[in-house]
Structure 1
Amino acid sequence: MSHPRIAVGGFLHETNTFAPSQATYEDFLRGGGAPPLSEGEAIFDAVAASNIGLCGFIDAPETRAWTLIPTLWTAASPSAHVTQDAFERIAARLLAAIDEAMPLDGVYLDLHGAMVAQHFDDGEGELLRRVRALVGEGVPIVATLDLHGNVTPMMVEQSDMLIAYRTYPHVDMAATGARCAAALAMLLASGQRPAKAFRQLGFLMPIAWQCTAEEPCRSLYAEVAAMESESLPSVSFLTGFPAADFADCGPSVIVYGADQARADEAADALVSRIAAQESAFAGQVFDPEAGVREAMRLAERAMKPVIIADTQDNPGAGGDSDTMGMLKALIACRAQRAAIGNVFDPASASAAHETGVGAVIRLALGGHSGVAGDSPLEAAFTVEALSDGRFIAPGPYYGGGRLDMGPSACLRIDDICVVVVSRKAQMADQAMYRSVGIEPLEQAILVNKSSVHFRADFAPIAETILVCAAPGPMAVDPGALPWKRLRPGVRTSPSGQAFVPAIEPA
């Protein structure tokens, strides 16, 4: 008896259509905070022993009875639109590899769910449509999705099962890949497809308040897991990525059931439960100097660092990780024993490497993205340490991943250390500080350019965590974004105003 032939691959991007920089083909080649683009057998080594959906799928018990055929896997740091060139080149190579692998018994794809290309609002829907057209209706297609996926009707229609992460910080990406393997095994064994129930909720959820270790998501996700049964093999709640200006942006629920009535009933019940918590998806936000002053006040008696989330310049949500609002606030408030990272500025990192450790150099640091209200910090800095930017990130989010931040430096101004890097990835692992000689445990204040992912590794060492809103492209309140193309009636903030499209002039 031959082993089932399963093609595996991935194409991931989280798109902030309001962000300053697009995702080019070269961005996918490099990978940033993810492995670089890999094809064929090289995929297995690229994702091995890491918190990646495909890794969990490959390592799942069910796959031991299958012949896995690697195609292509790639991801780029969140940004504005994926360029048409990048989307078409990558999609073509992925489809060609799947075509070459045929005949197939199944397809597994590691996707994000919030990709917007220059020429397709629904990047994953278009990709799944092409895969379905290639392999036919008889071959099951399953995919993992990020909890922040903006799921569309076409994504649900063109796949057999979509299974989303249940943690934010995403410490279960590999575990979700394993859940996908179990789902595909069920489909292969039964030869049947489950009924689908897909619902979109009526309000956008700020990402700063989507943490699944805190309410309201902690209880909601516990309920999601408890809903699954033999008759409801998969239940997913996606909080959505609230910075993609197209009709299907927002939270959603996907339920797969033994029959349509059970799937619909479960989906409607879950939507009602989430909707009842709408007002809880909000929290306290400080302006930069108020946040620093509060952190300094708390640090006077703290035994551990006070951590500030520079949430609006989160490179994990499309920011360029180079705004200077929080650093300027640290300087203005004369913060002591403070560190901030990562600041993406290849030119400044290169200048530090050219002058060497101990040198004092004058730089126009950061602020190069054209963000309203932001500008470079022109000042003298001391080069404290240099690094090639290559290291292992052992914390729960990166999960032992091999990061390459490019030439990096620790620059000091007053009693503040700045991590300057040449590639973007959010500050979600303590090793990112240690890679340039900063010991995070010895700091009174840490400012992380991240929204929630940093909590996985930093919450255990934090005295407390504050959220600050310095100028940046990822608005802590989605209602502040200049929406134009949402579906009518969606509330752009919890319990806020409903979106009304502008009337085009005749």
Structure 2
Amino acid sequence: MRIAIAGFQHETNTFVSTPTSLTDFEQADSWPPLLVGEDVLETTRGMNLPIAGFAAAATKHDLRPILWCAAEPGGKVMTSAFENIAGRITHAIKELTPLDAVFLDLHGAMVTENSDDGEGELLSRIRQIVGPNVPLVASLDMHANISKKMVDSSDALTIYRTYPHLDMAETGARAFRMIEAIRRDGRPEKVWRQGEYLIPLHAQQTGAGPARALYEGLDEFDGPGTQLAEIALGFTAADIHDTGPSLVVYGPDRTKAEAICDTLSDRLSSAEPEFDCPLLSPVEAVRRAKQAPDGYPIVIADVQDNPGAGASSDTTGLLRELIEQNAPPTLLGLLHDPSLANAAHQAGHGATFDATIGGHGPGDEPVQAKVLVHHLSGGQCAYTGEMYGGGVATLGPSAALRLIGSQIHIVVTSGRNQCLDLAQFRHFGLEPKQNKILCVKSTAHFRADFEPIAQDVLLCAAPGQFPCSLKDVNYRNLRPDVRTHLEG
């Protein structure tokens, strides 16, 4: 088969005012910079990415890579950026026609300045080019907010089933399996249904609880042929009509697909009370961490300041409480503060200086403290954990600082980057296992690498730009029949 492949990923936090530009897609961050042509295959080979998993499954076929890009989650994608990237993809597909299939590595929660449904817009444009008979399949993130336009424009959507997302490459391979089945058996019937309630992101982790049961239950519906069932749990920092969970079921028989969707819908509905996952205040989280027995570290997740969900990654609520309670040996990261990182590099290794730390956003204030420069780095940090292992985090000029008069070390970066890998501390000469408390600006991705060395994980609701306590969120654009939180 002659298959065009491309990737265009963004998770949009509509509560963040700073837009996402073309430059954000062009530069490296957690993932590679914008890739074009054969570089798409060469650079992503072996990585835990859908496009890499698709390519590995389709090695016997004629793959035509167009481009692949992803920007760190943030505000709405600028119209100019969307039109530039979408235009390059659609132009290349026109040039490559005739094609036997098209695969797209998408996120599913892209909001642009002009559209609440970036993926639906892109898929519909491609459908108009290739016509109704060419299989068009896309992979989506588990946090996708799926629209009718996305379902109608595609032949199948495959969705991550783990959070942390350890199965991104598997999801791409599943997309190739669906293309093969569609080419052999014809286009499947589709059933799409949206859930009745929102699920906060910190409750979506699949290591335990209701999400684990929901996703483990999908295995019984994988095949034969075009039969497939997928679940997206939604991205709650997007205030749009389609925010929330969705079910998509495919298969040759409409009646059976409806029955499978009914089963999954009942399971999702029944799980609602189990998704109630309370958060601790910074005061309580630090107090509990201090009282824990010595041994393995306690992880405190600063879930509402997660740059992987569009937050600034520089809030100081948790840091202030660590200082107030005179925390035992503690690591905190990654704090995004380019000016502070630059000041550390100017001061030099081993120097001390009066620092203004974080707190640049509205409603927050910097922490003033004297610090010691423990370690300096240019910011190229190789991941070692399961999720991104083999990749490189581009942090920009960065530093590890110790607050004088305390046992607190902070990793400060010039680029926003979610703290999800132990290497992001070890790169700076800091050993997580030797500390009592590990504070990570992450919502759940940290679990894959940090849980194996932790005696407990505490979820903390310090103020931040990624709201996790949904009852406090001022939504304006949700569909009227979706619940934001459990009543009572």
- Confirm or deny a common fold (TM above 0.5): yes
- Which residue does the alignment assign to 1:385? 375
Which of 153, 161, 165 in structure 2 is aligned with 1:158?
153
Q: What TM-score do the two structures reach when normalised by structure 1?
A: 0.94
Determine if contact 2:28/2:394 at 8 Å carries over to the other structure: no
Residue pairs, 1:99-498, within 5 angstroms: 99-190=94-185, 192-230=186-224, 233-298=227-292, 301-370=293-362, 372=363, 374-413=364-403, 414-493=406-485, 495-496=486-487
Q: 1:16 aligns with which of 1, 13, 17?
A: 13
Kindly report the root-mean-square deviation, in angstroms, between the aligned alpha carbons of the 2 structures. 1.2
SS at match of 1:65: coil
CA contact (8 A) 1:232 1:255 kept: no
| 8 Å CA contact retained: 1:20, 1:369 | no
Aligned residue number for residue 92 of structure 2: 97
Verify: 1:6 aligned to 2:19, yes or no: no
The aligned amino acid for 2:383 is: A
Q: CA deviation at 1:189?
A: 2.2
Listed one character per residue, the Cα deviations across residues 355-379 of structure 1 (whole Å, up to 9, x for unaligned) are 1011112222111122x3x211122
Shift of 1:327: 0.9
Which one is further off, 159-168 or 375-384?
375-384
1:231 offset after TM fit, Å? 6.3
Give CA-to-partner distance per residue, 1:436-461, whole Å, 9 cap, x none: 11111111100000010000111101
What's the CA shift string for 1:87-140, capped at 9, x where partnerless?
A: 111111121222222221100000000000011100000010111111111211
Q: Which residue of 1 aligns with 2:32?
A: 35
How far apart in 2 are the matches of 1:339 and 1:74? 32
Distance 1:367 1:109, change over 3 A: same
Q: SS of the counterpart of 1:28?
A: helix
Q: CA deviation at 1:12?
A: 0.3
1:219 is displaced (CA, Å) by 1.2
CA apart distance, 1:489? 1.9
Deviations 1:8-38 (A, max 9, x none): 1100001111124321111111132111001
Contact 1:20 1:320 in 2 (8 A): no
- The aligned amino acid for 1:75 is A
Whether the aligned pair in 2 keeps the contact of 1:389 and 1:435 (CA below 8 Å) is: no
Shift of residue 232 of structure 1?
6.1
Instruction: Report the more deviating stretch, 456-465 or 39-48.
Output: 39-48
Q: CA deviation at 1:479?
A: 2.3
Query: 1:144 touches 1:162 (CA, 8 Å); kept in 2?
Result: yes
| 2-structure distance, mates of 1:154, 1:281 | 28
The CA deviation at 1:220 is 1.2
Match of 1:46 in 2: 43
* Offset of residue 283 of structure 1: 1.9
Unaligned runs of 5+ in 2: none
1:18 and 1:496, CA in 2 relative to 1: closer, same or farther beyond 3 A? farther
Q: Which amino acid is the alignment partner of residue 9 of structure 2?
A: L
3-state SS, counterpart of residue 208 of structure 2: coil
Paired AA for residue 246 in structure 1:
I
Q: Secondary structure at the match of 1:134?
A: helix
**Does the 8 A contact of 2:181 with 2:226 survive in 1?**
no
Question: Does the 8 A contact of 2:102 with 2:134 survive in 1?
Answer: yes
Q: Which amino acid is 1:5 matched to?
A: R
Deviation at 1:496, TM superposition (A): 3.4
Q: Is the counterpart of residue 80 in structure 1 residue 75 in structure 2?
A: yes
Query: Structure 1 residue 488: deviation in Å?
Result: 0.4
The SS at the match of 2:333 is strand
Whole-angstrom distance in 2 between the partners of 1:197 and 1:255: 5
Between the aligned partners of 1:31 and 1:96, the Cα distance in structure 2 is: 24
In structure 2, the CA distance between the partners of 1:20 and 1:293, relative to structure 1 (3 Å rule), is farther
Task: Give the letter for the 1:155 counterpart.
Answer: M
Partner in structure 2 of residue 502 of structure 1: none
Contact 1:406 1:422 in 2 (8 A): yes
The amino acid of 1:44's aligned partner reads L
Q: State the one-letter code of the partner of 1:434.
A: R
Percentage identity across paired residues of the two chains: 43
Q: Match of 1:392, as an amino acid?
A: A
Corresponding residue of 1:66: 61
TM-score by length of structure 2 reads 0.98
Aligned mates of 1:359, 1:99 — CA distance in 2: 58
SS in 1 for 2:217: helix
State the SS of the aligned residue for 1:391: strand
Query: 1:465–1:356: structure 2 CA closer, same or farther, 3 Å change rule?
Result: same
- State the AA in 1 paired with 2:487: G
Aligned residues: 486
